[in-house]
Amino acid sequence: MTSELVTVTIDGAPVRVPKGTTIIEAAKQVGVLIPHYCYHPSLPSPAVCRMCLVEVEKAPKLAPACVTTVAEGQVVHVNSAAAKKAREGVLELLLINHPLDCPICDQAGECELQNYVFQEGRAGTRYSEYAKRYNPVEDFGPDVLYVPNRCILCTRCVRFMDDVAGAPVLNVSERGDRAYIGIAQEQKLDHPWSGNVVDLCPVGSLLSKDFLHKARAWDLDKAASVCSGCTQGCNVTIDTRDDVVVRIRPRPNLEVNRHFICDHGRLSYRWMNRGDRVEAPLVRDGARHLASDWDSARARAEQVLRGASGRAVVLASGRASTESLGLVRQMVARFEVTAAVQVPLGDEAPLPGVPDLALRRERAPNLVGAELLGYTRAWDAAVRQAASAAVVVLLDPDLGPAEEAVLSGARGVLLVLATVATGSWPTAEVILPVTSVAEETGTYVNRDRRVQLFHQAKAQPGMARPAWWVAAGLLAGEAGRAPATASEAFRRLSDWWPVFGGMTHADLGYSGRVLGAEAPAEVAG
């Protein structure tokens, strides 16, 4: 693509785009979505579905918009009679063998075949006396089912596995209307990124077993979030139904994960629905803890902190938000602070077709955020220090029995902020219920120092509050001006950590912003 610009007119609207831009991408710039199936901005274009045929003045035939590049002065009609008739024709032909499965098909409500047929397909079929092609459902592997009867042979799945995942385990088998997507006999679709074929499938042909028959698309509420699986920080959408997380799907971000997420991130959401939560603030009363209210609990915490001096050790989960990590750290600022963040490790799994995209070894979404805020990865040393520290603050880490034993025997004040009620903390002054990434708005900083905003997806359970809110109420000298929103909390971080450079939530949009980078130019996502 050169920087030479070309002017074309699409459905009457002029648009200037770099030479080499396809008509389908140029059309997006003026808000015209050309219906398509096989085209995908992250896959090579084969132009086989023929849905995107548009009328180009002075050209003898309709042109496929996904592979036809713009030319100076071109006049394109997306909604002329000829183009609409062509699309109506394609839709009719796709439906002749497509089963009337909508009532039992997972894709209903988010199905591109439904959408376009409703928008501009024929009202009734002319293919009424013949049997439809039939093939049985196939289990492709760990999470993917293939329903051949619904397949429209767009080949997105094959191209993804071939060109993006670099693992050609899917093929198109046979020829003509007998064609179907095949997998080699002994193989399974177990590539660490293979779940993306389910999202790529425009219809309900490739399905996730995990999501099978779980919820109707129109019953889902969606929240823009960030995957909490590793330091890559893929953008996701969390789908909930009745406040239960039922699915994670990728959210496009051309700078981070393009249109994909790995299977690990996709399928790690059940912990968000755990019921064994700390339900209310618990305050120690002798050898037991009594449920209390926030004011009383914070008053107790404030009291014990006031009475302590020396070293404070903060042990934090790698899933804690930047706001929470920051304000908790600031809460003990007058102590000598040792702060450590927990980083579980796993195997790296790159996606070869996208530069700099992989499931990272460091399975902590906010490792970089934590490090910017003065947390280290020296976990074991910090735990040992906690045994003799004046104050120990646990920010929802996942502790093993040995670590719990050390901390239970600690001499100092123990303040526990926890999502789940698994540990037993007989010596904790307070056990305060906090929210998870799914239950609050906040930010993570990914491995490329991109600050990304995640939005609340489900209600805060019980009396849980974001950890930053808990800490805000305990900040010294803040009476009356402690941050009251996540946005304010984030903005205040710059007061104590100049590296954040005055960044605010408003700067982040839906694609995030790299620390220290200029604001990005207006780009189509």
Q: Enumerate binding residues for another protein (CB under 8 A).
A: 46-51, 53, 61-62, 64, 67, 85-86, 89-90, 92-94, 96-97, 126-127, 129-130, 135-136, 138, 148, 152-153, 167-180, 182-187
DSSP string spanning 378-407?
Answer: -HHHHHHHHTT-SEEEEES----HHHHHHH
Whether the Cβ atoms of residue 314 and residue 328 lie closer than 8 Å to each other: yes
**Which tokens belong to 455?**
């939005």
Least distance in angstroms from the C-beta of 123 to another protein: 15
Least distance in angstroms from the C-beta of 124 to another protein: 12
Pairing of strands 358-359, 336-342: unpaired
Residue with smaller CB distance to another protein, 81 or 479: 81
Least Cα distance to 464 among 432, 496, 502, 512 occurs for 432
197 φ, ψ to 5°?
Answer: -65, -25
Least distance in angstroms from the C-beta of 183 to another protein: 5
DSSP state of 437: G
Least distance in angstroms from the C-beta of 106 to another protein: 20
Contacts of 78 (CB under 8 A, 6+ apart): 10, 11, 27, 32, 34, 54, 55, 65
Residue with smaller CB distance to another protein, 174 or 336: 174
Residue with smaller CB distance to another protein, 92 or 279: 92
E strands, 257-411, where?
282-285, 288-291, 311-317, 336-342, 349-350, 358-359, 391-395
Least distance in angstroms from the C-beta of 281 to another protein: 56
Least distance in angstroms from the C-beta of 193 to another protein: 16
Residue with smaller CB distance to another protein, 86 or 223: 86
Residue with smaller CB distance to another protein, 170 or 451: 170
Least distance in angstroms from the C-beta of 140 to another protein: 9
Distances (CA, A) of 396 to 233, 362, 377, 454, 466: 20, 18, 16, 18, 11
Residue with smaller CB distance to another protein, 181 or 432: 181
Residue with smaller CB distance to another protein, 57 or 177: 177
Least Cα distance to 483 among 500, 471, 496, 465 occurs for 471
Helix axes 81-96 and 112-120, enclosed angle (nearest 10): 130
